[in-house]
Structure 1
Amino acid sequence: MSGADRRADLDAGALVVSGQLGKTIQRLRKAYNLSLSELAEQSGVAKSIISQIERNETNPTLATIWRLSQALDISIDRVLASGEDEPFLEKATRIDTPVVMSDDGKCRLAIIGWIKTVEWLQWYDFYAEPGGVLESDPHQRGSIESLSVLSGTVEVDVGGLVEQAAAGETLRYRCDRPHAIRVVGPEPVHATMVCIMKAAVME
């Protein structure tokens, strides 16, 4: 294949990518509550260029895409990932689901989230025996955790703030500081935990 042919293939690929790229950049920018000016300042890419990318009016260079991906704290692969609206159905078996145990061996976190979203959204099936405690180190700054209790009662401790939740209740809290989940009472706990990485800081 000649150099001209390779260049034509690359240009065609860029056109295919750009249609989804603009939507992806705009969605992530809004998810992080960034204005065009703020993203321009953080990325070093001109506000006008970002606006053109989001409207799919230009095919940015790889260097530009890299700067934007760094500012949005995601991998360039995810920015360039295909977003075609094709039918999608995927099954994960019990064997395919990773499980993490707490230090005391009484809490189990089954990682049921999708690997492709792990950089910004993680979710788990949480099960804990009576007396179980899950202590966690801080996540990324601005991260928010949501714990929805299906059965039993838990107590969440975040920087000295303590709150309980029983079946049917949900606790949401900043998890960018040390935090702990404790089982309250004689019943085991079953819950769903979702962690939104780098969410807007909630004062």
Structure 2
Amino acid sequence: MGGQGAGRVLGVNLRARRDEQGISLSELARRSGIAKGTLSQLESGSGNPTIETVFSLSNALGVPVSSLLSEPSSSDLVVVRSADLDVLSGDAVDLRMLRRLESPGSLFEVYDQRIRPGKVQHSTGHPGTEHHVILSGRLRITARDQTQELGPGDYLAFRANVPHEYEALDGEVASVLLLEYPPDVHPSTLDSLHLS
């Protein structure tokens, strides 16, 4: 499955967020470290966004990832089929955003997360707290100078504003990732993070 759906939604939302903040493509390129030509492609919906790209844009704009990837929906019953969603892939991780949950003062994003064996997924850090629930497989997470090995049914949470990494230990790991954003995420606090 390609990233066309995610790419199209990202393109529309990226342009909308940039317009809201009055930021030029050049300024967004400077803040995010992503080439202007690449940003232009992403906005036109023809790019193929990676996890790293989307998190860089999220940091540069000071908005949650779901503000870039979600199509608005409102219903009393919501069914989301993971198989129908586009995959956001990194070196070792495949993420599918299942849902954005918002209430006054809090915002969560719910992801179906798969970690492929054989590579380590590095993150330079980003706003929010990561909550991991392991469904199958064994996962090693290193964060905040600690390494934890997790198995099915285990839970781990950590503030994600520092470098962290994931590694599947024996075969693919399936997990649920909840990304909890602090209520005060906005560009001025993010500019100082110098995230790549």
TM-score by length of 1: 0.47
Bigger relative CO (Cα 8 Å, ≥ 6 apart): 2
TM-score by length of 2: 0.49
